[in-house]
């Protein structure tokens, strides 16, 4: 299958990748394999760490020795393959010389002649020059644009280029915010490198491939802190400047095939953290929409991008006056893409968290498929449970953020099928209910059941088929 290299730049890049991975886990369709690459000088950023951990779990679960996706299998949970660039550890594109020292040391200011020094002082404030590089560019794209110029020289970039297919089917997608430091500066630089680096081993294939990008405009602010270099009052002005730059240098010269814009007038306010492990923002609906941009790009045929840069925006069917959103507020296309997969995955999540402990192990679905204590205490199940905890947390975070996205009642345990906000489940007076119905569905005699499949495959297949059936029976989606 062809590959989509997804570069997530900065904190927003990591968070969008996280949403993308969770959507893929739930079985949202993606017609390409995904190769995530995180570019962030702040290698201790909690958002990045969380995303990397999540992707590692996804890869562990999706491992070929556990799951296979032959035509006979119905399961779509974890269907899309996550690959990594050869030699790239934990999906991270490591930036050299950014871990220690100040910006002025990085540019070797001491070794510059007086006229160059004077020019540097004109371009960078004293605060910029004294800036500690190990926590990123703290909202300063002028620093980022210097530091990130090292893309093309890095071994990771060469490995990426070597792995790029010559057949013109592989694509690239870049995720960045426009109002910060790392994303705003990294996006144009990366694009320029990709399109113009003639020393790259696969330059022709890379320079001619379809490239898409989502540029995330302000959707959160940070609290005012005079000691912090991050100041959200500059977000709008930075966005305006960057947009003007993009108009001329990105979409203006057709170096991009698709550009997705996203932002929101309703903004959350986060605690002011310059970076590091303290930069741990709650998941946000905008990040989910940005992940949808990646999927839209991956699922659109090449021909659709012919004839210059295509611009896309995201809109809601109903804004709900800036209040919390549910599936009902989304347009049909989004609903069609995510509603059923997410509902299926949430049902699985609830069962594993609350239904399983009520005797899941002694059910026929477990016994008949050899899902015994050995399986439920093993590595695969441990990873699945851990992944589901992250999924649950992601939903909780989106629900408490501003604007809140709460398609599910995150705290509802019972009645199980009333968890989808705005959708009343069909009820039957005498039929089985709640987790009883879930177990009974898992215990169904499935047609075309591959009894020779691995236990992990059977486990995932069972939960996919059962949740698919339950969603069909219970909701009018």
Q: Is 324 in the site for other proteins (CB under 8 A)?
A: no
Query: E strands along 314-420, which residues?
Result: none
DSSP letters, 1-29, are --EEEEEEEHHHHHHHHHHHHHHHHTT--
Distance CA 373, CA 391 (A): 24
Shortest Cβ distance from residue 449 to other proteins (Å)? 13
Shortest Cβ distance from residue 135 to other proteins (Å)? 52
The distance from CA 193 to its chain's CA centroid, rounded to whole angstroms, is 23
61-83 CB burial, b ≥16 within 10 A, e <16: bbeeebbebeeebebbbbbbbbb
Q: Which of 207, 81, 86 is nearest to 157 (CA)?
A: 86
Distance CA 184, CA 215 (A): 9
Candidates 364, 415, 422, 431: give the one binding other proteins (CB under 8 A): 364
Shortest Cβ distance from residue 435 to other proteins (Å)? 8
Q: Which of 48, 37, 33, 34 is nearest to 8 (CA)?
A: 37
Q: Is 87 in the site for other proteins (CB under 8 A)?
A: no
Q: Which of 223, 219, 220 is nearest to 273 (CA)?
A: 223
Shortest Cβ distance from residue 438 to other proteins (Å)? 8
Of the pair 171, 458, the CB lying nearest other proteins is at 458
Candidates 244, 367, 413, 477: give the one binding other proteins (CB under 8 A): 367
Residue 453: phi and psi, rounded to 5, are -70, 165
Q: Is 359 in the site for other proteins (CB under 8 A)?
A: yes
Binding segment for other proteins among 42-50, 124-132, 389-397, 441-449 (CB under 8 A)? 441-449
Site for other proteins in 418-437 (CB under 8 A): 432, 435-436
Shortest Cβ distance from residue 362 to other proteins (Å)? 7
Cβ distance 95 to 190 under 8 Å?
Answer: no
Of the pair 96, 372, the CB lying nearest other proteins is at 372
Candidates 368, 409, 418, 473: give the one binding other proteins (CB under 8 A): 368
Q: Is 373 in the site for other proteins (CB under 8 A)?
A: no
Q: Is 467 in the site for other proteins (CB under 8 A)?
A: no
Distance CA 106, CA 96 (A): 10
Q: Is 439 in the site for other proteins (CB under 8 A)?
A: yes
Residue 42: phi and psi, rounded to 5, are -85, 85
Binding segment for other proteins among 216-224, 341-349, 364-372, 464-472 (CB under 8 A)? 364-372
Shortest Cβ distance from residue 451 to other proteins (Å)? 8
Q: Which residues bind other proteins (CB under 8 A)?
A: 358-359, 362-364, 367-368, 370, 432, 435-436, 439-440, 443-445
């Amino acid at each position: 299958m062809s590959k989509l290299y997804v570069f997530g730049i900065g904190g927003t890049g990591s968070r969008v990748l996280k949403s993308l991975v969770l959507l893929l886990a739930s079985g949202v369709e993606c017609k390409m394999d995904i190769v995530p690459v995180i570019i962030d000088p702040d290698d201790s950023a909690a958002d990045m760490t969380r995303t990397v951990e999540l992707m590692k779990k996804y890869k562990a679960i999706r491992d070929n020795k556990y799951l296979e996706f032959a035509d006979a299998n119905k399961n779509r949970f974890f269907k899309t393959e996550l690959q990594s660039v050869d030699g790239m550890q934990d999906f991270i594109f490591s930036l050299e010389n950014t871990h220690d020292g100040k910006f002025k040391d990085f540019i070797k200011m001491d070794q510059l002649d007086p006229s160059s020094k004077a020019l540097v002082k004109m371009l960078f404030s004293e605060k910029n020059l004294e800036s500690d590089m190990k926590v990123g560019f703290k909202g300063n794209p002028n620093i980022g644009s210097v530091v990130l110029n090292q893309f093309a020289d890095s071994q990771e970039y060469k490995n990426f280029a070597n792995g790029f297919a010559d057949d013109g089917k592989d694509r690239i997608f870049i995720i960045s915010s426009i109002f910060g430091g790392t994303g705003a500066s990294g996006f144009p630089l990366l694009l320029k490198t990709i399109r113009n680096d003639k020393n790259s081993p696969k330059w022709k294939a890379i320079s001619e491939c379809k490239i898409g990008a989502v540029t995330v405009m302000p959707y959160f602010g940070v609290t005012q802190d005079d000691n912090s270099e991050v100041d959200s009052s500059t977000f709008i002005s930075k966005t305006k400047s960057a947009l003007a730059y993009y108009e001329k240098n990105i979409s203006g010269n057709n170096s991009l095939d698709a550009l997705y814009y996203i932002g929101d007038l309703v903004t959350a306010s986060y605690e002011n953290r310059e970076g590091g492990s303290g930069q741990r923002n709650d998941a946000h609906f905008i990040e989910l929409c940005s992940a949808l941009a990646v999927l839209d790009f991956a699922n659109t045929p090449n021909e659709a991008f012919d004839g210059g840069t295509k611009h896309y925006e995201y809109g809601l069917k109903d804004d709900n006056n800036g209040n919390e959103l549910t599936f009902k507020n989304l347009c049909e296309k989004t609903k069609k893409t995510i509603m059923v997969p997410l509902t299926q995955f949430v049902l699985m999540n609830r069962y594993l968290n609350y239904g399983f402990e009520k005797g899941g192990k002694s059910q026929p679905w477990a016994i008949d498929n050899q899902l015994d204590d050995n399986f439920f205490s093993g590595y695969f199940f441990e990873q699945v449970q851990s992944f589901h905890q992250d999924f649950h947390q992601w939903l909780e975070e989106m629900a408490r953020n501003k604007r809140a996205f709460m398609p599910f009642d995150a705290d509802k345990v019972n009645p199980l099928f009333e968890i989808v906000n705005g959708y009343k489940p069909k009820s039957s007076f005498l039929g089985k209910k709640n987790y009883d119905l879930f177990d009974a569905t898992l215990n169904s005699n499935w047609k075309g059941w591959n009894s020779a499949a691995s236990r992990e495959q059977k486990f995932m297949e069972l939960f996919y088929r059962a949740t698919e059936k339950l969603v069909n029976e219970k909701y009018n989606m």
